[in-house]
Structure 1
Amino acid sequence: MTIGISDGRYFVRAAKTLVNEGRTDSARRILQYVLEKPQDLPTLRELQDLGRLLPKDQGDAFRLERWIGYQRPVAETPRCLTILDEISEVNWSADFNCIRLNRTEDNEQFREEIYDFILIESAWIGNDSDWIYAFTSSGLEHPYSKTLVSKLIYLRENLDKPIIMVNKEDPMHFEKFLPIMKYADHIFTTGEEMVECYRQQTSALTVTAMPFAADMTLTNPVGRIDEPQENLCFAGSYYGQGHDERVRQMNYLLEPITTFNGVIYDRQSANDDPIYRFPERFAPHIRASVSFRTMAELYRRFRVFLNVNTIVSSPTMMARRVYELLACGTPVVSTPSRAMEEQFSGIVPIASNATEACREVEKLLADENHWWRTSQKGIREITLKHQYKHRAALMRSVVWGNTISDYRPLVSILITLDHPLFLNSIIECIRKQTYPRTDAIFIVSEDIPADELELIENRLKAALHIEQVTFLRHPIHMPLGTKIEAAISVARGEFFAVFDDRDLYLPNYLTDMILTFEFSNADVAGKLTHPVWQIRGNALSLANPANEHKMTSYLNSSTLVGYMSWMRKLLSETNDQTHGFNILQATDEAGGKLYSADHFNFISFQQSEMPAHTEVQLFSGHEKLLASPELIAEWSV
């Protein structure tokens, strides 16, 4: 049975009185009774505060040794009362139902049935400037500061709802926001190096490092290929005084702006203070500051962005803009920092002087393949690890004790084995996929011996990601659509992926294709732009260039990946029993969305040449490509 709020506080306060009287043993017996019961948050807060008042060898006994979460259910999209700046409110709203904490309302807004927790960040002004100076006034003497502190005290003393605070300004502004952070139950900081400082200086139940992230509903690569493109951009402020290291970095990193006709969006363009004025040589390149939503659209309109790191030694802190740019597929050239090295090594080029900065920018602007590879690596890394949904999962794990799920949906690979000479190649393509959960459904002709199918199954099952292998026999002249329909009827996956046994599917093919559904809002994805192996010329060329990362009306039929639920919906509505099922046509007729992904990790054969060649000739050309790993590597990311 949980001790009630009033009873729990009574016991803890009684113990505090005994401690002040020097009767520590008596206090310990009372607290032992409290600790044996499930505690509400106001009681836990009192316990944590008491522990901080005592010498460490005594106080630790009164504080929780290890927080294991509230061990209670929380809604899939929990409701929270918030104080957030505009950008953060947009970012968190996909995972939480955010309700602004109104400064002018009384405590009626805290009625328990309307929210699950409080989410407060280190806000300079809050949304619509509602909390300006509330966090940062000297001694918290500003009227808005006093209002905020009053609300936090009321929450801590009376309500059993967790207060979660995020300091997105760590480590630089740790001291400035610390007076408010002390009211948190759970602290998340952008500076991992500040975790111990918070543990020493606050009574928080938990302190956890949490870097920035990207909201891929807002910042993503969809449609960037059709946007007008400029070369180079920097967005931010210049500081003529203080921040000496930042000024040094900016002076060399911005050199490519003049060399490559770049632009600067000056965050302080409305400020007349000369300390914020960029050096005169950049004046022709300056543009006025824009809103966050406008800047998010501009991310896709530049080939390269520049990034300066004010904080260079933190393993976790870097500008939120870096995550957003990479999510958009925009390469970033940055000054050095520990966080950049630990999170985006091999993805974000680092420049330590003006020469290196110009060289890295020039390489991205001049080398199309290098630009695309860098772009795709960034998209993949953000989609896999650095979305706000990942940060929300971390928050749920720390605060409520929820397990962070590493669930990946099962993908059913559908393959028609019509070309026996290519069998070994397609098996190796499937075996080497990096995507962690697949099963394989082979549609095979009736004359393939059972022992040969057993060998195929054994080879595939040796790969850890393959959960099941199924064979469906069919008459030799069955239409392809009918074969795919038969495979769908036995498929277990949440996604399907159509493979052609003559084409090459490189290791990260499925990983990247499934990731497109995180941001494309498509029903079926595939590749319209992709490399083609020209058998006669023994060369690779890019088919349908400039159709990457966009909605489309056509895709290569050997690259179709989509939701199984969508496929089954289409099958239930089709009436064509003559020509077999056509995924692209059916999707178009049903008003579905097709998405053309990147052009990497798949190589097809030039379809127009195939009728003029025997299968042996085709196989010979196929083998020549496999014998040229350097060519394949150019299209593998």
Structure 2
Amino acid sequence: MRSTSRRPGGALPARARAALRARRDDLRRLRLAARTRRTRPDLPEVPLPDVPPRRPIRVAVLLDTFSELAFRYEWHQVTFGPDDWREVLETDPPDLLFVESAWQGNGGRWRLHLTADGAPSAELRALVSWCRHRGIPTVFWNKEDPPGYVRFVATARLFDQVFTVDADRIPAYRADLGHDRVDLLPFAAQPRLHNPVRRGRARELDVAFAGTWFADKHDDRRRQLDYLLGAARDGGLHIWSRMETGDARYRFPARFRRYVVGSLPYERMLAAYTAYKVFLNVNSVTTSKTMCSRRLFELSAAQTAVVTAPAESIEPFFGDTVEVAGDADEARLALDLLLRHPEHRERLALRAHRRVHDEHLYGHRVEHVLRSVGVTAPAATADAATVSVVVPTMRPDRLAEVLRTVGAQTHRHVQLVLVLHGHDAPADLGRQARDAGIDDLVVRPAARDLTLGACMNLGVAASDGDLVAKVDDDNHYGRHYLSDLVRARDFSGADVAGKWAHLVHLESTGATLLRFAGHEHRFTDLVQGGTLLLRRDLAADLGFDDLPRRVDTTFLARVRRSGGTVYSADRFNFVSVRRADTGTHTWPIPEKELMARSSRLLFYGDPLTHSEA
């Protein structure tokens, strides 16, 4: 047998050590590939929410499947075919006709009517003409630009208003159509579908890509996908292929085929979004500042971290909230950071989620469409909800901090209801509130002998917001606390939202704990008592028990008995602060016992900066 020469002391030469490391790495990759090859994750089918749309208008639509699902929660959609559109629409005329650059259209009923030679078809022309003669605005959205411009521009000529996903196409449309009723309408996310609610496997899997390999077109996309997939092979990669068993032009090459675990219908893909720690993304169009893949919006809304290949649209839409990798080395580094450091990954994903909710939901897109054609339809959105923040307090020295906390909230419509428990309001309380940025202040006195539950009922009765938030005067609430929680209650559909996974800071030792770490983005039985958020009418109907403590626990039990649901959002932007004198708390648990109960010690020191995200 050939021996390997060693240096004095038994050490292998550097070249031999490198060769051994390479062999070990190869063996590790082979073992991982074998495991990947055997494992197809079992992902549940996410039921599509059966909830009313946000706007009370009736819109006739001609859409492909993904768009039909995305828009259905924004307005009452009416679908039809080329053979029955007149019968359907004459019975109950719509407020608007909305047509996209559809390949199939309404379940395949309009296949080739917009894409075949000679399109648009006679049936589509008749439909648009019928609407125009009845004063019904008509809108066309080309989601296939820029490559689909030539194919669909003739169809666009029929419509009153035209939208495109590519701002660079707008001058061409205006020149070809002879009018300026052309505007931008990018892709977006639908929070009813694309959200971080965890179903089945929750961030147990590592890295995924979902899509198609194009062997004969989209050269830049293919090059980008090649280095992204290559970098992810050591990271538990799964590829969900749309067309793996079909045309060879769309089949992944041999070097990646062992990572292909199958295909997924869209309802299961929604579960995949929250099952993986990281998704990979590529864009077929890389030079447009506004044409960005639909999936990138959806993943960010689901609070899933993304590593994407470069495109000019990434920074305008997402800033620095997604990782951009221009080659294999950058992709490996980005994946290593995201997979090794969940704190970094989850903060980045939350910031991307928030950015999408701020600007890039289908609700934002619909508002733009309706304004463009002069249709008014107020929407019941999360950001439009008014929130009454109810704060019972028996500590006058905490009032300034309460005002600062509530005044700093980014949610736009906030009322502060102070229940002064056994003490009077300062004479200049109104001025202090205005200085803190609070325009709507309600103050209710409460006798010292009233219980916490009775004080909460006083506060709820004095509120007039759509929602009520129970806030404690001694906890820390970050500036995004309310806006994030209001949105979580909305996209989850829960009756009560709060935080069961949360930080606890012990003032006596400076220790900061994470409690109930596995209970983020889940339906639960309980949430921390200082984080309750629910409809005001529900809070008034159920009422809080006339008790000095355990008020939140008994209230949540009543919610569940009445058939209601409780949702625990993320752990960020809230800290439960435990003072050294535990007897001053309504729950006087000893600190050692608190640390031993479903808690993990994170660090010693100031928790406020750490809690913000």
| Cα deviation digits, residues 270-297 of structure 1 (max 9, x gap) | 3232x32323221110133322222222
Which structure shows the higher helix fraction? 1
The amino acid that maps onto 1:478 is L
**Structure 1 spans left out of the alignment, 5+ residues:** 1-74, 619-627
Q: Secondary structure at the match of 1:120?
A: strand
Deviation at 1:420, TM superposition (A): 4.3
Mapped to 2, the partners of 1:148 and 1:257 lie a distance apart of 48
Q: Structure 2 residue aligned with 1:199, among 174, 196, 205?
A: 174
1:419 equivalent to 2:392? Answer: no
Check whether the contact 1:182–1:204 (CA below 8 A) recurs between aligned residues: no
Mapped to 2, the partners of 1:521 and 1:403 lie a distance apart of 22
Q: May I ask how many residue pairs the two structures share in their alignment?
A: 539
Match of 1:596 in 2: 568
1:492 equivalent to 2:461? Answer: no
- Of stretches 531-540 and 438-447 in structure 1, the one that deviates more from structure 2 is 438-447
Deviation at 1:264, TM superposition (A): 1.0
Deviation at 1:159, TM superposition (A): 4.2
Q: Taking structure 2 as the reference length, what is the TM-score of the superposition?
A: 0.81
Check whether the contact 1:185–1:203 (CA below 8 A) recurs between aligned residues: no
Match of 2:18 in 1: none
Deviation at 1:241, TM superposition (A): 2.6
Check whether the contact 1:503–1:602 (CA below 8 A) recurs between aligned residues: yes
Q: Structure 1 residue aligned with 2:61, among 79, 82, 105?
A: 82
Q: Structure 1 residue aligned with 2:303, among 306, 320, 329?
A: 329
Deviation at 1:447, TM superposition (A): 4.2
Match of 1:26 in 2: none
Mapped to 2, the partners of 1:527 and 1:331 lie a distance apart of 21
Match of 1:410 in 2: 386
1:115 equivalent to 2:94? Answer: yes
1:457 equivalent to 2:430? Answer: yes
| Cα deviation digits, residues 293-327 of structure 1 (max 9, x gap) | 22222212111111111212222211111111112
Check whether the contact 2:240–2:260 (CA below 8 A) recurs between aligned residues: yes
Residues 162 and 336 of structure 1: is their aligned pair in 2 closer, same or farther, counting only changes over 3 Å?
Answer: same
Deviation at 1:588, TM superposition (A): 2.6
Match of 2:275 in 1: 301
Mapped to 2, the partners of 1:447 and 1:577 lie a distance apart of 20
Mapped to 2, the partners of 1:586 and 1:609 lie a distance apart of 31
Mapped to 1, the partners of 2:223 and 2:310 lie a distance apart of 12
CA RMSD of aligned residues (A): 2.8
Deviation at 1:356, TM superposition (A): 1.1
The amino acid that maps onto 1:169 is E
Check whether the contact 2:308–2:322 (CA below 8 A) recurs between aligned residues: yes
Residues 540 and 165 of structure 1: is their aligned pair in 2 closer, same or farther, counting only changes over 3 Å?
Answer: same
The amino acid that maps onto 2:541 is K
| Cα deviation digits, residues 480-525 of structure 1 (max 9, x gap) | 0001111112112222111212111111111111111221112221
Residues 425 and 131 of structure 1: is their aligned pair in 2 closer, same or farther, counting only changes over 3 Å?
Answer: same
Q: Percent identity?
A: 27
| Cα deviation digits, residues 231-285 of structure 1 (max 9, x gap) | 0111111222332221221122222331202111122213232x32323221110
Mapped to 2, the partners of 1:593 and 1:292 lie a distance apart of 26
Mapped to 1, the partners of 2:127 and 2:155 lie a distance apart of 9
Residues 437 and 156 of structure 1: is their aligned pair in 2 closer, same or farther, counting only changes over 3 Å?
Answer: closer
Q: Structure 2 residue aligned with 1:314, among 268, 282, 288?
A: 288
Q: Secondary structure at the match of 1:127?
A: coil
Check whether the contact 2:114–2:121 (CA below 8 A) recurs between aligned residues: no
Matches within 5 A, 1:469-618: 469-571=441-543, 582-606=554-578, 610-611=582-583
Match of 1:173 in 2: 148
Check whether the contact 1:415–1:501 (CA below 8 A) recurs between aligned residues: yes
Q: Secondary structure at the match of 1:315?
A: coil
Residues 629 and 394 of structure 1: is their aligned pair in 2 closer, same or farther, counting only changes over 3 Å?
Answer: farther
CA radius of gyration, larger in: 1
The amino acid that maps onto 2:80 is L
Q: Taking structure 1 as the reference length, what is the TM-score of the superposition?
A: 0.79
Check whether the contact 1:235–1:265 (CA below 8 A) recurs between aligned residues: yes
Q: Secondary structure at the match of 1:323?
A: helix
The amino acid that maps onto 2:153 is L
The amino acid that maps onto 1:531 is L
The amino acid that maps onto 1:436 is R
